[in-house]
Amino acid sequence: MFNLTQGYINGEWRDSISGDTFEVRNPFNDELIETIADCGIEDAELAIDEASKAFKVWRKTTPKVRSGYLRKIGDLLLEHKDALAALMTKEQGKPLQEAAGEVAFSAGFFHFFSEECKRPDGEMIPAAAAGKQFMTLREPLGVAAMVLPWNFPIGMPARKVAAALAAGCTCVVKPAEDTPLISLAFAKIIEMAEVPSGVVNVLPCSRNKVQQVGTLFCESPKVAVVSFTGSTEVGKHLYSLCGKSVKRVALELGGNAPFIVFKSADVDLAVQGLMAAKYRNSGQTCVTANRIMVHKDIYEEFLEKFKASTSTLKIGNGAESGTTQGPIINEKQLNRVVRIVAESLEQGAKLEMGGKTEGCCYLPTILTKVTPDMACWKEEIFGPVAAIGSFDSEEEAVEEANNSDRGLAGYFFSRDYSQIWRVAKALEMGMVGVNDTGISNPDTPFGGYKTSGIGKEGSKLGLDEYSNVKLIDMGGL
């Protein structure tokens, strides 16, 4: 059912217009999975045209009708969870249990927005003058072009597409070059839900064509909004291109999350939280804990317990039972992790465990004696490397946590309620986890400060990225 090799445009499965193809390989063993259509600028123009035509009809559908489609998509994702998870693990490498969790997470967005789309918020505003009344209403923007990451290859299209469809927009989706197959399976779910043709279009393309397609998304007058999840560097480039046409952008970019363990913290709970925040998806997440700070009085206790927990992790093929850590997505990213660790050790960090590659995997690694000038502290590692330092005071920890141009997420553990309130407000991040690291949910806003992005995904605020607010001034009353 999900052995798909063509793009999905206007409700049809199509080869690329050029006839070009590219290979998709398993990141664990480099085996060829599929050879699929390599869609280029001509395919993207066609998809945008069809999405633009479909928008004229889709925007007029009632919230109840859109709600029905969204609910059906969510139900179908759950119905086919096992098959989708197996495909994701083969293509992206994450353990099967994590992949299944991501599919369920994806369904949650469609179920949430199936309800939220029935509650579009307008406002009645009293006028100062007699005989007048003001009101506002929400209207869909138009065609939404979406550029996806490889680390959550069905979770991210779900979070974007569900909100866009709920708002009344149509979509053109470009999957990451490493993980197009699960996005095509997602398109199959859209087709099975009988979503009208042209409302959702999916264009796989190789690295050779991604720049052309991305530029078209930013410059096409028929595209109303570009939504991108990925690196800050690429996000800045897309932002500058969109500026030429004053196009709406939604950017969820890189992070460099602090993880602070205060003296009053429940150490066992903090260790449990760091295991999830650091090693999920082999550390390949934008909200992973990157700069770990532990109060000096509990540092040794925390380190020993964290090392013991880390030693239980098992790297390998995500499809095999018991695997907790899959491969790094590709050779370029693996080499980057290797470089960051090597540079940090040269700068004086101490290797407590790990620090080696095993095939395409990187062993869970702990570095201590880390200082803010080291590569592992300044850069977003995007791998299973825990860089741990210590601190003396709350002020020192908060200052260092905010000492970054990134501001996506941050975490801290404390049982001092006064401290919890002070620190939660003081951290310059869009999302703060207090004694918890599960910050991403369909009904909560996801997004960052500083160079970590613009806008919010998820929650009722997710509709804002795909909506305009119109004022109606009624006189002569």
Cite the active site residues. Answer: 252, 286
Beta bridge partners, 454, equal 251
Q: Is 126 helix (H, G, I), strand (E, B) or coil?
A: strand
Instruction: Locate 33 and state its tokens.
Output: 């999975």
Note whether 323 and 314 are within 8 A (CB): yes
Alpha-carbon separation of residue 154 from 7, 73, 218, 281, 370 (angstroms): 16, 13, 23, 14, 35
* Whole-number Å distance between alpha carbons of 272 and 447: 24
Instruction: Give me the helices (H) in 168-298, please.
Output: 180-192, 210-219, 232-243, 267-279
- C-alpha angle 354-356-360 in degrees, rounded to nearest 5: 120
Query: Which DSSP letter does residue 325 get?
Result: B
Question: Long-range CB contacts (< 8 A, 24+ apart) of 65-68?
Answer: 66/114, 66/117, 66/165, 66/166, 66/168, 67/114, 67/115, 67/117, 67/118, 67/166, 68/114
* Whole-number Å distance between alpha carbons of 271 and 309: 8
Note whether 78 and 192 are within 8 A (CB): no
What are phi and psi for residue 164, nearest 5 degrees?
-65, -45
Residue 143 CA, chain-centre distance (Å), reads 20
